[in-house]
């Protein structure tokens, strides 16, 4: 009974504080003359990856969990979360996002798959991933320098209050996600669910809850930069840091549990995202439904094959 209460409490925290985060971070971006996309690509995406990073460090002795955490989260972030967001409201995409941010994500995904084709990831491989992350940081720096004009917003919060609310809401979002994941894992083990399914379903979906809640809230408010930037930044951070950093510190990993289907979906997800974005600079409800359908097909394969 206690675990069910904690599960419900975690979901409530996610819903309430995701709404606060979107409002305060938007105000923060305007107050400090920072593009909303930069806020989404940095503060939002990096902090909402905290559950994945924690899982990655704590599960290094179980390589399958660490790698499933990254591969599953990246696939779910795009196919499931962007798909759900576009069903709520068609997502408008900026030209620079299609030309620069999503191609960076595709490059990171393809690089990871090429490095992992032999089922191994060494410290040298992790250095490649870290270099890709430095390239992403360089792009963010240049984006800030290029930024001249700030959009106006109706949200009236002073800079200090906006900053405190942004950081605090992210902190609570991570706490809420931990409550949901921990209580779900406990309930799953009680009912003897297979460890592989726990990794790819419970842990992956659970640690993606912060991105999901921020995406849903942003989509409802029409903050499309926050919606897209949060997912793009999260996936790049997942691939390059969540997996790359623990390997760089503690050594390489070996796993034979992942096949070409998993790697194909990891690359297909951002490619599908790119194609849909470029077509009409909008991800429509139909395209969102296609993304969710592909996600369900993949997870059906995981469960039944």
Which has the closest alpha carbon to 289: 137, 88, 114, 126?
88
- Position 303 confidence tier, pLDDT thresholds 50, 70, 90: confident
In the chain the first and final C-alpha atoms are separated, in Å, by 33
How far lies 194's CA from each of 38, 199, 200, in Å?
Answer: 39, 9, 10
Q: What is the largest CA-CA distance in the chain?
A: 56
Task: State residue 189's pLDDT score.
Answer: 74
Q: List the Cα angle 237/294/180 in 5-degree steps.
A: 55
Contact (Cβ atoms closer than 8 angstroms) between residue 192 and residue 37: no
Task: State residue 152's pLDDT score.
Answer: 46
The verdict on residue 256 lying in a domain is: yes
The verdict on residue 224 lying in a domain is: yes
Which SS3 state, helix, strand or coil, does residue 92 take? Answer: strand
Mean pLDDT of 210-239: 83
Which has the closest alpha carbon to 91: 293, 294, 295, 273?
273
* Residue 125, domain extent: 37-149+194-304
Least confident of 38-47, 97-106, 207-216, 228-237: 38-47
Per-residue pLDDT tens over the stretch 243-295: 898 888 888 888 777 889 999 999 999 999 999 998 888 999 999 999 999 99
> Which residue did the predictor score with more confidence, 214 or 119?
119
The verdict on residue 5 lying in a domain is: no
pLDDT at 132 over 80: yes
pLDDT at 219 over 50: yes
Task: State how many domains the chain has.
Answer: 1
Residues 6+ apart with CB under 8 A from 30: 150, 151, 152, 153, 155
Q: What are phi and psi of 261, to 5 degrees?
A: -65, -45
pLDDT at 52 over 90: no
Model confidence pTM above 0.85: no
CATH number of the CATH domain containing 102 = 1.20.1420.30
- DSSP 8-state code for residue 7: H
Per-residue pLDDT tens over the stretch 69-95: 789 989 999 999 999 999 999 998 888
Per-residue pLDDT tens over the stretch 150-175: 444 444 447 788 888 888 887 887 78
Mean pLDDT for the chain overall = 82
Task: State residue 50's pLDDT score.
Answer: 64
Task: State residue 155's pLDDT score.
Answer: 43
Q: Which residue intervals of the chain are DSSP H helices?
A: 2-31, 36-39, 45-48, 50-58, 63-75, 83-88, 95-96, 102-115, 123-146, 159-190, 195-197, 204-207, 209-221, 224-237, 244-250, 260-280, 285-304
């Amino acid at each position: 009974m206690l675990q069910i209460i904690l599960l419900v409490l975690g979901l409530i925290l996610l819903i309430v504080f995701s709404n606060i985060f979107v409002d305060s971070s938007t105000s923060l971006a305007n107050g400090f003359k920072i593009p909303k996309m930069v806020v989404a690509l940095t503060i939002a995406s990096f902090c909402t990856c905290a559950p994945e990073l924690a899982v990655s460090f704590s599960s290094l002795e179980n390589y399958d969990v660490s790698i499933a955490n990254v591969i599953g989260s990246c696939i779910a972030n795009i196919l499931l979360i962007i798909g759900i967001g576009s069903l709520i409201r068609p997502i408008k995409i900026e030209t620079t996002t299609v030309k620069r941010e999503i191609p960076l994500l595709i490059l990171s995904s393809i690089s990871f798959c090429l490095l992992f084709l032999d089922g191994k990831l060494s410290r040298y491989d992790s250095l490649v991933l870290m270099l890709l992350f430095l390239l992403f940081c360089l792009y963010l720096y240049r984006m800030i320098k290029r930024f001249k004009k700030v959009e106006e917003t109706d949200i009236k919060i002073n800079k200090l209050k906006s900053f405190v609310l942004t950081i605090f809401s992210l902190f609570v979002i991570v706490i809420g996600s931990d409550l949901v994941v921990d209580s779900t894992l406990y309930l799953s083990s009680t009912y003897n669910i297979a460890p592989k399914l726990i990794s790819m379903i419970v842990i992956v979906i659970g640690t993606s809850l912060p991105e999901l809640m921020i995406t849903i809230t942003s989509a409802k408010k029409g903050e499309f930069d926050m919606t897209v930037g949060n997912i793009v930044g999260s996936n790049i951070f997942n691939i390059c840091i969540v997996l790359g950093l623990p390997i760089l510190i503690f050594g390489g990993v070996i796993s034979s549990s992942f096949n070409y289907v998993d790697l194909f979906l990891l690359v297909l997800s951002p490619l599908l995202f790119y194609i849909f974005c470029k077509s009409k600079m909008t991800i429509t409800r139909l395209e969102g439904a296609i993304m969710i359908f592909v996600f369900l097909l993949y997870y059906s394969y995981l469960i039944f094959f």
